[in-house]
Amino acid sequence: MDFRLDEEQQALRESVRDFAREVVAPVIGDHYEKHTFPYEIVRQMGKMGLFGLPFAEEHGGMGGDYFALCLVLEELARVDSSVAITLEAAVSLGAMPIYRFGTEEQKARWLPKLLSGEALAGFGLTEPGTGSDAGGTRTRAVLDGDEWVINGSKAFITNSGTDITALVTVTAVTGTKPDGSKELSTIIVPSGTPGFTVAPGYSKVGWNASDTHELTFDDCRVPAANLLGERGRGFAQFLRILDEGRIAIAALAVGLAQGCVDESITYAKERQAFGQPIGNYQAIQFKIADMEMKAHTARLAYYDAAARMLAGEPFKRQAAIAKLHASTVAVDNAREATQIHGGYGFMNEYPVARFWRDSKILEIGEGTSEVQRMIIARDLGM
């Protein structure tokens, strides 16, 4: 067992670290404050090949793997989570369903644009009335000749309303199974399809430079060929996508937790109180030591989950543990980093204020902490 990074992984991590510090850090505070989407950063990430990282070259990808994506997400989130979640959602929730389950025609049509970062895709699972309980999905799609007619709404969908959003994959009830349960399927809805409306962006507590909307479908018609994978496989599809996505969110959470350590060390060495830098006080040193310990153990948990996934082994429990632990650690570290910054930690101009506001959603999105515990307990046979 060796969790040290090889030369290629280290080089990738270094280049993204430099990009985050030199390109993202100087401008992201302004985007955050104004709630604007960082198109220029997205364009540059596209040029770096980040949107195509874990995909095969034959589809326009970089031929890397999911762990490489996680390393990138960690480094981005160390500086800013809005940018990191934009990439995470674009790759893991946007392009991945088409890559994993799409027909050759669907892949040929959508993947080149999505993997170059020229276009983004959203993943529409959550609804205004149901999130954790996907069985409560109410959006319906009825086959009418050679078209699906979709009616319903989706809530909190990331990357669904940018100027470069090309499509949203939507889970919908398409019938009833022989056992009486809902038949769920996934359908591709291109942006601009009549009957598909994107509401104005939400006013959020955090992730303010990322794009999130409620979507409505009102007799929205798309070709029958827009079905993603097999009819009735929607449930299995999104479970797979979310299992993987949890490792990516864990990596993002570790990045935020590590960013809190970085900012706290810098501040503690500069800030003077009672005649010396506050970093000289053991109370502050111990806080930072604990933050580092938490970021480190959370990192090992996501490395382990990713290693199992890449080895083709079961990884559901480990992905849930990684996500649960890393998101808890991110919230803990953001709280402590803010405390170390005193009053300045409450000022939006300081990165730790952004980290604090961005940390809470990590315990909610892509499966709440309660859902992670349910997954772990179930996997333990309970």
Ligand X SMILES: Cc1cc2nc3c(=O)[nH]c(=O)nc-3n(C[C@H](O)[C@H](O)[C@H](O)COP(=O)(O)OP(=O)(O)OC[C@H]3O[C@@H](n4cnc5c(N)ncnc54)[C@H](O)[C@@H]3O)c2cc1C
Any idea which residues carry the catalytic annotation?
A: 366
Q: Is residue 126 close enough to count as binding ligand X by CB under 6 A?
A: yes
Query: Cβ of residue 93: shortest distance to ligand X, in angstroms?
Result: 6
Q: Is residue 92 close enough to count as binding ligand X by CB under 6 A?
A: no
Query: Cβ of residue 157: shortest distance to ligand X, in angstroms?
Result: 5
Query: Cβ of residue 242: shortest distance to ligand X, in angstroms?
Result: 9
Residue nearest to ligand X (CB): 131
Q: Which is nearer to ligand X, 126 or 165 (CB)?
A: 126
Q: Which is nearer to ligand X, 265 or 361 (CB)?
A: 361
Q: Is residue 124 close enough to count as binding ligand X by CB under 6 A?
A: yes
Q: Is residue 137 close enough to count as binding ligand X by CB under 6 A?
A: no
Q: Which residues ranging from 60 to 89 are in contact with ligand X (CB under 6 A)? A: 89
Query: Cβ of residue 363: shortest distance to ligand X, in angstroms?
Result: 9
Q: Is residue 364 close enough to count as binding ligand X by CB under 6 A?
A: yes
Residues 6 or more apart in contact with residue 158 via CB below 8 angstroms: 85, 86, 89, 93, 122, 123, 210, 211, 212
Residues 6 or more apart in contact with residue 224 via CB below 8 angstroms: 143, 145, 146, 147, 148
- Of the candidate residues 69, 72, 157, 284, the single one contacting ligand X (CB under 6 A): 157
Q: Is residue 49 close enough to count as binding ligand X by CB under 6 A?
A: no
Query: Cβ of residue 279: shortest distance to ligand X, in angstroms?
Result: 34
Q: Is residue 131 close enough to count as binding ligand X by CB under 6 A?
A: yes
Nearest-angstrom CA–CA distance, 189 and 148: 10
Q: Is residue 368 close enough to count as binding ligand X by CB under 6 A?
A: yes
* 94: its two tokens: 């946007």
Q: Which is nearer to ligand X, 124 or 279 (CB)?
A: 124
Q: What is the 3-state secondary structure (H, E, C) of 290-313?
A: HHHHHHHHHHHHHHHHHHHHHCCC
* 132: its two tokens: 């954790």
Q: Are strands 182-190 and 140-144 parallel, antiparallel or unpaired?
A: unpaired
Q: Which residues ranging from 181 to 220 are in contact with ligand X (CB under 6 A)? A: 204, 207, 212
Residues 6 or more apart in contact with residue 286 via CB below 8 angstroms: none
Query: Cβ of residue 177: shortest distance to ligand X, in angstroms?
Result: 22
Residues contacting ligand X: total by CB under 6 A: 25
Q: Is residue 153 close enough to count as binding ligand X by CB under 6 A?
A: no
Q: Is residue 158 close enough to count as binding ligand X by CB under 6 A?
A: yes
Q: Which is nearer to ligand X, 207 or 315 (CB)?
A: 207
Q: Which is nearer to ligand X, 120 or 288 (CB)?
A: 120
Q: Which residues ranging from 344 to 363 are in contact with ligand X (CB under 6 A)? A: 361
Nearest-angstrom CA–CA distance, 321 and 246: 9
Query: Cβ of residue 85: shortest distance to ligand X, in angstroms?
Result: 8
Closest CA to 324 of 265, 282, 379, 259: 379
Residues 6 or more apart in contact with residue 151 via CB below 8 angstroms: 139, 140, 141, 217, 218, 219, 220
C-alpha dist (Å) from residue 97 to 45, 93, 164, 228: 21, 7, 18, 8
Backbone angles phi, psi at 3, to 5 degrees: -95, 10
Q: Are strands 165-176 and 120-124 parallel, antiparallel or unpaired?
A: parallel
Q: Is residue 370 close enough to count as binding ligand X by CB under 6 A?
A: yes
CB atoms within 10 A of CB 286: 10
Q: Which is nearer to ligand X, 122 or 351 (CB)?
A: 122
Q: Is residue 174 close enough to count as binding ligand X by CB under 6 A?
A: no
Q: Which is nearer to ligand X, 75 or 211 (CB)?
A: 211
Nearest-angstrom CA–CA distance, 121 and 114: 7
Nearest-angstrom CA–CA distance, 299 and 293: 10
- Footprint of ligand X on this chain (CB under 6 A)? 89, 93, 122-126, 130-133, 156-158, 204, 207, 212, 361, 364-368, 370-371
